[in-house]
Structures are given as structure tokens and as C-alpha cells.
């Protein structure tokens, strides 16, 4: 067997074994080493605040230090509250006349 053919088979062996032994805990097709949320399947790897933790497992998606659970605008760090629940942020109420109730 010539050296090029040996090298060819060797490369195939390496690529097959890396496929078999690649770590992908959540089976979302993204290797654990580069997955921004190792235990939750998130093929889009969306990370709104770019802190390296994907939205799928980030407790504060927009990074404004207000947890998603109580953040009225979990994907917008500019706003956190909408006390009257009309869809307009509280800060608008104080800054503009758009929200009059």
C-alpha cells in the first residue's frame, strides 16, 4: 500500500472516530466544546446578551440583572417593568406621553 493511500485511510479513521466520540450531551448537533448551553438543545445558539450562555439556559437573557422570571421584557435590557400590563414599558410612562394610563 503506498503512503498516500495509507494516509487517506488514516484520515478516514480519524474523522469516523471523532464523530463517534464527539461529546454532544443534549444531542442538538453542536459539540459540547462550543455549545453555549450544553444540557439544553438549542440549535440556534441564540445568546441575546452575548455573555456566552445561550438564552435556552440563561436565567437573565438580556443581561440587565433582572431575572427572566420577573423581567417583563426578558429580551430587552432597556426595559424591565410594565406595571399596568398594557405592553408599554414603565419608563415610557415617565419619559413620554405615549402611555397615559
Name the minimum Å distance from CB 1 to Ca ion.
Answer: 38
Q: Which is nearer to Ca ion, 51 or 86 (CB)?
A: 51
Q: Is 79 in the site for Ca ion (CB under 5 A)?
A: no
User: Taking CB under 5 A as the rule, which mask of x and - marks residues 5-34 in contact with Ca ion?
Assistant: -------------------x-x-x-x----
| Region of 52 on the Ramachandran plot (φ > 0 left; ψ -120 to 50 alpha; else beta) | left
Name the minimum Å distance from CB 20 to Ca ion.
Answer: 16
Distance, CA of 34 to CA of 45 (rounded, Å) = 10
Distance, CA of 40 to CA of 90 (rounded, Å) = 33
Distance, CA of 93 to CA of 89 (rounded, Å) = 7
Q: Which of 1, 10, 17, 58 binds Ca ion (CB under 5 A)?
A: 58
Q: 47-60 as b/e, with b when 16 or more CB fall inside 10 Å?
A: bbeeeebbbbebeb
Q: Is 90 in the site for Ca ion (CB under 5 A)?
A: no
Binding site residues, Ca ion, CB under 5 A: 24, 26, 28, 30, 35, 37, 42, 47, 49, 51, 53, 58, 60, 62, 64, 66, 71
Amino acid at each position: 500500500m503506498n503512503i498516500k493511500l495509507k494516509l487517506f485511510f488514516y484520515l478516514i479513521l480519524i474523522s469516523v472516530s471523532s464523530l463517534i466520540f464527539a461529546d454532544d450531551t443534549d444531542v442538538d448537533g453542536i459539540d459540547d466544546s462550543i455549545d453555549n448551553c450544553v444540557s439544553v438543545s438549542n440549535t440556534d445558539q441564540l445568546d441575546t446578551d452575548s455573555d456566552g450562555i445561550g438564552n435556552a439556559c440563561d436565567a437573565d437573557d438580556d443581561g440587565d440583572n433582572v431575572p427572566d422570571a420577573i423581567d417583563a421584557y426578558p429580551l430587552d435590557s432597556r426595559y424591565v417593568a410594565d406595571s399596568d400590563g398594557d405592553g408599554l414599558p414603565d419608563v415610557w410612562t415617565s419619559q413620554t406621553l405615549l402611555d397615559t394610563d
